Amino acid sequence: MFEFIRTHRRWMQLILLLLIVPSFALVGVQGYTSFVNGEPELATVAGQGIKQSEFDAAHRNQLEQFRQRLGTQFDPAVLDTPAMREQLLNQLIDQRLLAQVALDNRFSVSDETLRNTIAAIPQVQDDGRFSPERYRQVLAAQGLSPTSFENGLRRDLAVARVLEPVGLSAHVPQIVVQDIEQALTQKRTIQLRSFAAADYRSKVTVTPQDIQAWYEANKESLRVPEQVQAQYLVLDEAAATQGVEVKDEDIASYYEQNKGRFGTPEQRRASHILINSAASDSADARKAARAKAEDIARQAAANPAGFAELAKKDSQDAGSAAQGGDLGWIAANSVPPSLQQAIGGMAKDAVSGVIESPFGFHVLKVTDIKPAQVKPLAEVKTQIAAEIRKQMASARFAEMATKLQGAVYDQRDSLQPAADALGLKLRTATGITRAGLLPADHAGAGSAAASPDSALLENPRVRQALFAADVLREKQNTGVIELAPDTLLALRVAVVEPSQIPPLDKVKDSIRARLLDEHSAQAAREAGEQALKTLQAQDQTEGFAAPVTISRQDPGNLPRNLVDAVMRMDAAKLPGYAGVASGSDYVVARLDKVEAGQPDEQAVSMLARQLNGAWGEAEDQAVLKMLREAYKVQILPSAAPIIKGDQPAEG
């Protein structure tokens, strides 16, 4: 409901993550005071250094978490940025800082708190309850012993107590909550008048001199990054099935072996009369129950047509007695095996003897039989052919994959021998950069972005392989890249095009279009601003659309900057006017009416919790800042090249 408030919760989640599981997510279970002598220090906390090896371990773990989460879309170039590395170093500093504060102030947790925390971990629960066996299994899978895990968790919980009182004591005054709730729910009725840039496009001109001037002033923004033209082979299901033929005799054989799959099995409907008897009953009670069932069986056999009436009178199965004992169509495993077997061997309208089951003693009658039906071969021939072709393709794919691996490495400077050996088409695509694919109009003919294989070539793993040193500079084949279980790629750089600024002739059309857009937007804005001045001087409604009512929590489809402008308008001066740019267009809003929002106790309570949480997060950050000063935290010059990437961290 209050989305812009709710987003602040990310800070608290980050802090909790750092406090509760740092020993697993970042630095391992060795603790906060493990150091390696003689290594470069990136920062100090109270004179104690944070070594580069600690940062490297955290960095590797962070990237591995991203790799596991994103799979084939993992791209270090996007995720391993200076901002991310700086954030990671600050996380390590805060962990060390809080651990030192906890140690100095002798923070601790009780055995009961430790037990309750462990029992609440979902991964060690079975049906919602703590399972000692699952607990040991989870720890063993992480290479941990219960003792080491519990010592680490106890330490982490103690560290968490450093900031816990700060967050719990943060409360926003109720009057502030009420004011913000009113600001969020206040309703305003407005009318809009749009000045569309498209309406002014025909009224503006762009000269060759304008294009030349823009080009000279903005050359660097047009720079095309280093790109490659790549040759590549794709081995997928389509390639593996190419040329595969399925013979009619194979289809007929497959049909005979799998007839049961191409139709419906026999179905039987049955009724029963049950005399209840549990295995725990006394021998005399079970004997009496069997005798009663045998008497009913004799009556039913003498008059099969009266079976339903007999069931209504004597059956002790409350669920079916009223329906004359009807069990419906018998599905597999829907009745005990003894009944299933008996029903399967009876003729229609036949009555059984006494059949025993875990529920007691039954008398059965088969009331209807639907014979098995099998679709004729002609009806399922296409389906069978597709299944056989897929099976053959699977085997062929495995064989071709093995050949592709060998062929790619046998001749490292060409993919043509591999293409010839496997009967694959050698494909070519241009406009592949380290960061992605160039737009088709920039890359020209054979653009990777316009290729049917664009999704494959866009994959981060493919781009990383193409820009590896041996592949990029020596034009050697990449290894075989598995993008999916049924999709393999092998690539080679054919041409490297260095970063360059394209000549004016290549980009003049796009510059003209851009300038037309800019000039049209400027004309629309000027017309809108002039209209706004006129309206503020002399009120009128001409040209405005039908009224709409909005609020901050329900802005409709209006852009955020327009909503903000409307909600900032003086409610005491009606009608009021405001204008904002909306993309290329300009919009004038006329404020006609302001209504107070209706209080919602549940919403107000939720808002109060969110504001308290945001306030607590701000207090946490303030305390951390104070503690950094008190404990003389320093980020050393040696951290700068690691953060910038000039001296890559191990990863």
10-residue mean pLDDT profile of the chain (651 residues): values are: 39 38 38 51 89 88 81 71 88 87 83 86 83 83 83 81 75 83 89 95 93 94 93 90 80 83 85 91 92 94 93 90 90 84 92 92 93 84 84 85 92 93 93 91 87 92 90 92 91 94 91 95 95 90 92 90 92 92 94 87 82 83 87 89 70 50
Half-sphere exposure of 452 (CA within 13 A, CB side): 2
Instruction: For residue 420, give both structure tokens.
Output: 């010839």
Q: Which of 559, 526, 611 is nearest to 197 (CA)?
A: 526
Tokens for 484, please give them: 């999916």
Query: CA dist 321 to 204, 332, 365, Å?
Result: 87, 22, 14
Can you say whether residue 317 is alpha, beta or left, with left for phi > 0 and alpha for psi between -120 and 50 degrees?
beta
Q: Do 252 and 377 meet the contact criterion of CB atoms below 8 Å apart? A: yes
Q: How far is CA 53 from the centre of its chain?
A: 32
Residue 127: its pLDDT value, please? 77
Superfamily of domain 39-172+608-650: Porin chaperone SurA, peptide-binding domain (1.10.4030.10)
- Please state, in angstroms and rounded to a whole number, the distance separating the CA atoms of residues 222 and 415: 34
pTM of the model: 0.56
Task: Tell me the three state secondary structure of residue 554.
Answer: coil
Q: Per-domain residue ranges for the chain?
A: 1-34, 39-172+608-650, 187-201+508-595, 227-244+383-500, 266-371
- Contact between 550 and 591 under an 8 Å Cβ cutoff? The reply is no
Determine the pLDDT at residue 30.
Answer: 39
Handedness of CA 119, 121, 123, 128 (dihedral sign): positive
Matching fold, domains 39-172+608-650 and 266-371: no
H-run or E-run covering 625: helix 601-630
The highest-level CATH class for domain 266-371 is alpha beta
User: What pLDDT score does 4 carry?
Assistant: 36
Q: What is the 3-state secondary structure (H, E, C) of 372-391?
A: CEECCHHHHHHHHHHHHHHH
